[in-house]
Amino acid sequence: MYNEIDLDKIEINAEPPEEEPARQHYFIAKCRKYVKEESERLGRPLYACTVTFGCQMNARDSEKLSGILEAVGYELTETEEADFVIYNTCTVRDNANQRVYGRLGHINSLKKKNPHMRAALCGCMMQEPSVIEKIRKSYRFVDLIFGTHNIFKFAELLANMFEAQGMVVDIWEDTDRIVEELPVERKYPFKSGINIMFGCNNFCSYCIVPYVRGRERSREMEDILKEIRALADDGVVEIMLLGQNVNSYGKNLKEPVSFARLIQEVEKIPGIRRIRFMTSHPKDLSDELIQVMKHSTKICRHLHLPLQSGSTRILKAMNRRYTKEQYLALADKIRKEIPDISITTDIIVGFPGETKEDVDETIDVIKKVGYDNAFTFIYSKRTGTPAAAMENQVEEDAVKEGFDRVLKVVQDTARERVSALWGRTMDALVEEINEQDPEFVTGRLSNNTIVHFKGDQSLIGTIVPVYLKECHGFYYIGEREDKWKN
């Protein structure tokens, strides 16, 4: 494991090793020297800040970036007034890109105040050549740029940055590599995401992810289990298995393994009390998985099952490879087998060619499935995707009208579903002190519902029974059951 490596024993004046992860360990040791020298020059510690945009997979990547930054000697901070700031970007919708450009302006002014400051960009947005062109032209103050495929060599790139004059850019078009055994700095001590696969092969016609994350690659089951065992030893009780399409996990391994099998192995690991996963593509969700979930005491009662659209015609144009009826039948089967499960979803409104009737179909599915929550997005045109070239783009007003209609039904349905838990006592994993009231803590039920109740720091990371006392739309105010009884 990484923490068994003695960085002081690495000979940094020798040539770097060719093999990974030894090569990155060498560069970690080398960067430690650069950071130490600069810190001594300034007579203070150096601070680094990682800012994450986008999905859970990006959040996990950011933990790896932070792990390296800490290993090379930076103190981690939440503020961008730091000596090194890295933006881990997302490009799934245009507003994600705009936010990054907006904040880069701020970095420029911070850099003027602190001449030692360095700024880096990585993540999905950097896999788009037009973005790199724009940054080279208009944001010349950025020191380091890399993409999603070579994130494992962050330590090496940092060393290059320290040694270079001017911007270091390294973007790979694709990769089949998975490098294990690098440091990670977790955001929460008691829960963690774990990548089980990278990339996506589905090519939904609106989606840029397959272009910026590359082809689907699964990690070896043993590597995943080893990582989870180490996390459990380190106090982690809840894990979330991450992939763009976890239901197709393991299909392309030399010795194929199913996702259901993987999750059964994870379940055997002592110390792990809750298992979540994200995301499930409806076309690949197996009966085997439904049965494993049904009989499991650790797999959470929550399934995120992106619908995208309820119209079979639009689903076909989206290349989702299921019909409205197939989706409904699947949701029905899941609810029958696991009655207390909560189902959440993603919906896109305004896909090219979408009519009022198509939106009606989506609303019909929302009502029939009864989602506990749904993320509703306005379609965003992504350059290079098939949908961007479709001629029948929907007018803004019609999109807005459809979006508002969908949102209303989503909210009504979710409120109704969540309120059905009223009066029950359920286990909550306490995640943090409540942001508004420090006398309260915030916990999460197995079905992903949030509950706030009186408590203190000592409860964080523990699972406690909570009486669901007041329903406030999408969340509860509760009371600890043991206290309630007294």
Chain residue at closest Cβ approach to ligand F3S: 54
Consecutive H or E run containing 409: helix 396-419
How many Cα neighbours within 13 Å face the side chain of 174? Answer: 11
Contact of residue 203 among ligand SF4, ligand SAH, ligand F3S, none (CB under 5-8 Å per partner type): ligand SF4
Which two structure tokens, joined as six digits, stand for 83? 């000596």
Which two structure tokens, joined as six digits, stand for 87? 């933006």
Binding residues for ligand F3S (CB under 6 A): 54-55, 57-58, 90-92, 124, 209, 212-213
Quick one: 4 exposed, middle or buried, by C-beta within 10 A (0-12, 13-18, 19+)? exposed
Pattern 339-368, binding to ligand SAH, x per CB under 6 A?
-------x-x--------------------
Q: Is 380 in the site for ligand SAH (CB under 6 A)?
A: yes
Positions in 255-284 near ligand SF4 (CB under 6 A):
281
Cα 443 from Cα 441, distance rounded (Å):
7
Based on CB atoms, which residue is closest to ligand SF4, 61 or 479?
A: 61
Based on CB atoms, which residue is closest to ligand SAH, 75 or 346?
A: 346
Contact of residue 346 among ligand SF4, ligand SAH, ligand F3S, none (CB under 5-8 Å per partner type): ligand SAH
Q: Is 196 in the site for ligand SF4 (CB under 6 A)?
A: no
Q: Are strands 440-445 and 425-433 parallel, antiparallel or unpaired?
A: antiparallel
CB neighbours of 231 closer than 8 A, spacing ≥ 6? 192, 194, 239, 272
Cα 56 from Cα 52, distance rounded (Å):
10
Least distance between ligand SAH and beta carbon 135 (Å) = 22
Tell me whether the omega of the peptide bond preceding residue 438 falls within 30 degrees of 0, making it cis. Answer: no
Residue 67 and residue 234 in contact, taking contact as beta carbons nearer than 8 Å: no
Consecutive H or E run containing 361: helix 356-369
Least distance between ligand SF4 and beta carbon 347 (Å) = 12
Positions in 288-317 near ligand SAH (CB under 6 A):
306, 308
Quick one: 229 exposed, middle or buried, by C-beta within 10 A (0-12, 13-18, 19+)? middle
Residue 452 and residue 440 in contact, taking contact as beta carbons nearer than 8 Å: yes
Based on CB atoms, which residue is closest to ligand SAH, 147 or 352?
A: 352
Least distance between ligand SAH and beta carbon 93 (Å) = 5
Q: Is 379 in the site for ligand SAH (CB under 6 A)?
A: yes
Measure the N-to-C terminal CA separation of the chain; round to a whole number of Å.
Answer: 47
Cα 175 from Cα 60, distance rounded (Å):
19
Q: Amino acid identity, residue 1? A: M
Which two structure tokens, joined as six digits, stand for 173? 């078009």
Positions in 25-84 near ligand SAH (CB under 6 A):
none
According to DSSP, residue 220 is labeled: P
Positions in 100-119 near ligand SAH (CB under 6 A):
none
Which residue in 28, 49, 135, 207 binds ligand SAH (CB under 6 A)?
207
Based on CB atoms, which residue is closest to ligand F3S, 150 or 462?
A: 150
Among 77, 156, 168, residue whose Cα is nearest residue 119 = 168
Q: Are strands 75-76 and 342-349 parallel, antiparallel or unpaired?
A: unpaired
Least distance between ligand F3S and beta carbon 59 (Å) = 9
Positions in 208-237 near ligand SAH (CB under 6 A):
209
Contact of residue 382 among ligand SF4, ligand SAH, ligand F3S, none (CB under 5-8 Å per partner type): ligand SAH
Least distance between ligand F3S and beta carbon 92 (Å) = 4
**Region from 372-380, 391-399, 444-452, 453-461 binding ligand SAH, contact rule CB under 6 A:** 372-380
Based on CB atoms, which residue is closest to ligand SF4, 32 or 382?
A: 382
Cα 346 from Cα 318, distance rounded (Å):
14
φ/ψ of 307, rounded to 5, equals -90, -45
Q: Is 401 in the site for ligand SAH (CB under 6 A)?
A: no
Which residue in 218, 244, 311, 449 binds ligand SF4 (CB under 6 A)?
244
- Binding residues for ligand SF4, rule: CB under 6 A, are 200, 202-204, 207, 209-210, 244-245, 281
Where do contacts with ligand SAH occur on this chain (CB under 6 A)? Answer: 92-93, 206-207, 209, 244-245, 279, 281, 306, 308, 346, 348, 377, 379-380, 382
